[in-house]
Amino acid sequence: MNKRAHDGHGRHAAGRGAGDWQDESEDLHTREPAIAWPDGPAHHRDVGKGGDHHAPRHGDDDTDLGGLTVLIGGFAAAGGEQSLATGMVECVTVDRGGVSIASGEAVFDAYGYAEQPGEAFAAAGTYLQITGADLVLRWESEASSFSAGQAWAHSEVDYLAIDIDAWSPAQPIVIELDHAFALQPRCLDAGPTAVAAVMAAVEVHGVDTLSLTSTYAFTDDQFSFVQAMALASL
């Protein structure tokens, strides 16, 4: 699969298609409350820096985050007599004086089970947007399958981004690597059940920083859904 064709996000689905939910988030350096999840998922990829990225961080435009900024997140959804959706987002950004480093990952999995073939459903997707970086390493893995009333999907993105004050290449260097993943079906306890679990954590070390997280989880009798995002800016 050509990962570049996914334009910064991955989404995998399988299948055609009792309430319990968990919603957990952790923000280790949040200056403002967690924001509500946007109306739609991000379908774009931006890895780079526009103009003079070493200009002062506070200009006439108050919406300009400046510096090294990372937005990462994803979703998972599953349907069937038994369904399980899980998600985890992590983002760590550190200013080391002349060099800023950001790293993290988003991992989302979905599993659906049904006695009748074709009644199970599973989908998962991730996205990553980075601005203000000189060098970006990015790993992606995506997989999905459907067979014998079972459906499962996996989507994961990992990254390492570096911004060096004394170095400004004409274009950011982006290295994309495949991340092998062997997906195996899971078995839930006997009987109808729906489970959703999600967490997001962001950690920012520096002066004049911004960090946000958002999580959401939902279940009904035959459906599980989670989504989460994290934003970090130096």
Q: What is the pTM of this model?
A: 0.72
Phi first, then psi: give them for residue 85, nearest 5 degrees: -130, 130
Question: Tokens at residue 180, please?
Answer: 């092998």
Tens digit of pLDDT for each residue in 194-218? Answer: 999 999 999 999 988 999 999 999 9
Tens digit of pLDDT for each residue in 150-187? Answer: 999 999 999 999 999 999 888 999 999 876 655 555 65
d(CA 33, CA 191): 39
